[in-house]
Structure 1
Amino acid sequence: MKIQPVKVALVGCGGISNAYLGTMKSKFKILDVVGGYDRNPDKVKDKVEKFGIKAMTFEEILADDSIEIVVNLTAPTGHYGVIKKLLEAGKNVYTEKVMTVELEHAAELVKIAKEKNLYLGAAPDTFLGAAAQTARYVVESGMIGEVTSCVSILTRDSEIFSRAFPFTARPGGGIGFDVGIYSITALLSILGPVKEVSGVTRMRNPERKNFALENFGEPFQIECENLMAGTLQFESGTVGNVLFDANSIFTVPERPVLTLHGTMGVMYMADPDHFGGEVKVILKGGNEPFAMQQSHAFTEEYRGLGVAEMAWSMRLGRKNRANKEMAYHALEVLHRIVQSSETGVNQKLESTFEKMPPIPRGYSGQTYFEFMEEMGIAQ
């Protein structure tokens, strides 16, 4: 049986589109990226020249029946309006995180996609990479026993990021929603749904001044949380603590903490913002961690892997792994932490999701055959 590639178009051709296009155009035979749209014509022109795609209007994308997936790479505040129009036009959609800024808007999009029998996928897709899949294998093999608790800590400097990436100072771009969601999604992919959260959020020093040369001294406002702490109670019984702080320092490389504690060992995960990285384990009776051999695919940066996996899912008639239910649940976890901070009361989650099968082991790209990795998501 010959599988026809899935035609893809982009909406939003900003900086992150380079990473997506670089992957989608060169790594996956299942994808045929044909066009892109951005409100800024210069951004589209740049992608036409770099990647050989066609410049299209938004209306042309909506009207083109041959385009089966539209990848939404607009800013978070624009996600709801763009995705709703795409779904209503009958398009399958994969969106950059987060699905929407407001939880009720995400619920509406999930409902529309279900009613129209459309795929709606969402980043982050890093949990499909070698590091997180190796970590899931460690847990599901029983190597570290029953996972009783987990911890996620990350720091950034909002003085830097809010100037370099203005959306991180606006609603939906706070430290939890912009970066913490990578940790949340990685934990969900391994441990399953969360049933209840408590949390504290802060918006420290909202009045800022810009120190970039082109607009030195101009004031700007932080409009979202830049500190988030939460306790997560998973349906499995695991208890987790998360701390996302944008009032600290930013290092290169970043050094987030993502650790799972089990009855027979402790596992130290790699940076969930990336696809690869070392997964280390200390087993009961030992004192020093050892690195796990990675036998899963996607050790390099593969932004857009979730798009390719969704395309294979469409062709094979199955549910995609970076699906709307899991993305919605991750978004709800973050919103319930904020709600708990505002009310001083633990918040129960209303949503859940089904854990999808892991990526099969053994399809590493470190072989003679470059097509091996894509074979992993074709199953």
Structure 2
Amino acid sequence: MEKVGIGIIGCGNISAAYLKAMAGFPILDIRGVADLNHDAAKARAEEFGLQARTIEDLFADPQIEIIVNLTVPKAHVEVGLKALAAGKHTYSEKPLGINFADGKKLADAAKAAGLRIGSAPDTFLGGGHQTARALIDRGVIGIPVGGSASFMCPGHERWHPNPGFYYEIGGGPMLDMGPYYITDLVNLLGPVTQVAGFATKLRKERVITSEPRNGEHIPVEVPTHVAGVMSFANGAIVQVSMSFDVAGHKHVPIEVYGTEGTLIVPDPNHFAGPVELLKKGGGFEDQPVTQPYADGNFRSLGIADMAHAIRSNRPHRANGDLALHVLEVMEAFHTAAANGKTVTITTTVERPEPLITSLSGGVIAH
């Protein structure tokens, strides 16, 4: 299958994981990397044997079909709109935008231009999550009744070299980590219809303990502990907790409850992990992970699927409709918290098709 030219904008912390994983997908032809800080682009290019280019060069290159946008969240829509204006499909790091209105602007521009947009996370395509979905789809847990989703930590200033953006508008635990959890739950259960939520911001600033900015104080502009409930179109109700304020906890990342059983789903920040099933009257048992991409970090799997979809003229899985729906749901937690009212979700989305075969060898599941 003819390769798809890729241009990468943004050479920060996450770009290394993308570039390492992209090497495993023959369909992806990386034509260059760029960053507003050209030294960062040169360093990343040297590390992976690529060419450091300017952002304008990437937009102008006719051999580049997809711009991969790995900039900070508040730049996702701006860079995405420029990519679309240059006639490129675009795939961004999560979230799609820092608010629903901006995300919809990007989605509408893509539709008007007849171009594709995609967005991380693509971890829901990993073998652990696809195995969990297959069990639900086979009716193993009966009728889905509800579930829980929990991400709680002390904050990213402990480890990230430049953590300020996590606490700016567009950051916070819901927009940062929520995409993994909510995208996976939509993959498992379908679209969300209503959200109720509460949120708190108990500190006005945080102290960085990572290098090289150890000891520096950074302002907090967003809620850092968010909790609430999502109601799904299929009738399931899922409790959610996302926090940068919790020292530790014992909750598993995702549980899905059904009338006939309960499913423990792997951490949605990873592609793999144990899948456990409890059938009514029994105990939890490990389930064999039967789907591909369960033995590593495949951050770019969604891009490879998008590239195959372009060549095969089929929908891609980590698509703009999914990302926009998830963005609306995440924003609804903050809206519900601010207004003290349940929020009705205006978008809906089809669950992406399961991914049951490998993309690495050019074999895809339609």
Normalised by the size of structure 1, how large is the TM-score? Answer: 0.92
Give 1:51's aligned residue: 48
Q: Which residue of 2 aligns with 1:367?
A: none
Runs (4+) of structure 1 exceeding 6 A deviation are: none
- Write the distance in 1 (CA, Å) between the matches of 2:251 and 2:364: 29
Task: Name the structure 2 match of 1:9.
Answer: 7
Pick from 69, 84, 100 the counterpart of residue 81 of structure 2.
Answer: 84
Deviations 1:192-220 (A, max 9, x none): 11011110011121233445676565432
Q: Deviations over 1:27-69 (max 9, x none)?
A: 1111111101011122111122121211111111111111001
Partners of 1:19 and 1:163 in 2: CA distance: 16
* Structure 2 residue ranges without an equivalent (≥5): none
Say if 1:130 and 1:296, in contact at 8 Å, map to a contact too: yes
2:129 partner SS: helix
Q: Does 1:305 align with 2:308?
A: no
Q: Give yes or no for the alignment of 1:289 onto 2:284.
A: yes
Q: Which stretches in structure 1 are left out of the alignment for 5+ residues?
A: 365-371
For residue 257 of structure 1, report the CA deviation from its aligned partner.
2.5
Cα gap change, 1:269 to 1:212, in 2 (>3 Å): closer
Tell which deviates more after alignment, 222-231 or 128-137: 222-231
RMSD, aligned α-carbons: 1.9
Distance (whole Å) between structure 1 residues aligned to residue 154 and residue 161 of structure 2: 10
Q: Shift of residue 223 of structure 1? A: 1.1
2:106 aligned with 1:138: no
CA distance in 1, matches of 2:211, 2:93: 30
SS of alignment partner, residue 221 of structure 2: coil
In structure 1, C-alpha distance between the alignment counterparts of 2:363 and 2:143, rounded to whole Å: 28
Aligned with residue 124 of structure 2, among 123, 127, 138: 127
Q: Which residue of 2 aligns with 1:95?
A: 92
CA–CA distance in structure 1, aligned partners of residues 212 and 43 of structure 2? 23
**Cα deviations across residues 54-105 of structure 1 (Å, max 9, x unaligned)?**
1111111111111001100000011121111111111100100001112111
- Of 210, 218, 221, 1:220 maps to 218
Aligned residues: 364
Mapped to 2, the partners of 1:191 and 1:46 lie a distance apart of 42
SS of alignment partner, residue 78 of structure 2: helix
Contact 1:255 1:271 in 2 (8 A): no
Alpha-carbon distance in 1 for matches of 2:83, 2:220:
31
Closer, same or farther: CA 266–9 of 1 in aligned 2, 3 Å: same
Identity among equivalent positions (%) equals 35
CA deviation string 1:245-266 (max 9, x = no partner) = 2111269xx9743000001100
Partner residue, 1:368: none
Deviates more, 1:206-215 or 1:34-43: 206-215
Deviation at 1:181, TM superposition (A): 1.6
Alpha-carbon displacement from aligned partner over 1:281-323 (angstroms, at most 9, x marks no partner): 000121x211111111101110011000000000000111000
**Alignment match, 2:339:** 343
Q: How much has 1:377 moved relative to structure 2? A: 3.6
Query: 1:297·1:376 contact (CA, 8 Å) conserved in 2?
Result: no
Amino acid at match of 1:111: D
8 Å Cα contact 1:298/1:373 also seen in 2:
no
Distance 1:117 1:274 in 2: 32
Give 1:357's aligned residue. 353
Alignment-derived partner of residue 198 in structure 1: 196
Instruction: Report the CA distance between 1:160 and its aligned residue.
Output: 2.3
Q: Helix, strand or coil for the counterpart of 2:67? A: strand
SS in 2 for 1:55: coil
What is aligned with 1:369? none
The whole-number CA distance in structure 2 between the counterparts of 1:101 and 1:211 is 26
Secondary structure of residue in 1 paired with 2:33: strand
What CA distance in whole angstroms lies between the structure 2 residues aligned with 1:61 and 1:181? 28
Contact 2:26–2:360 (8 Å) recurs in 1 = no
Q: What residue is the counterpart of 2:312 in the other structure?
A: 316
Distance 1:34 1:255, change over 3 A: farther
Pair 1:270-2:269 in alignment: no
Amino acid at match of 2:134: Y
Deviation at 1:161, TM superposition (A): 5.7
1:97 and 1:265 map into 2 onto residues whose CA distance is 32
Q: CA separation in 1, counterparts of 2:122 and 2:52?
A: 26
Q: Kindly provide the CA deviation profile for residues 225-258 of structure 1, in whole angstroms up to 9, marking residues without a partner as x.
A: 111111111011111110112111269xx97430
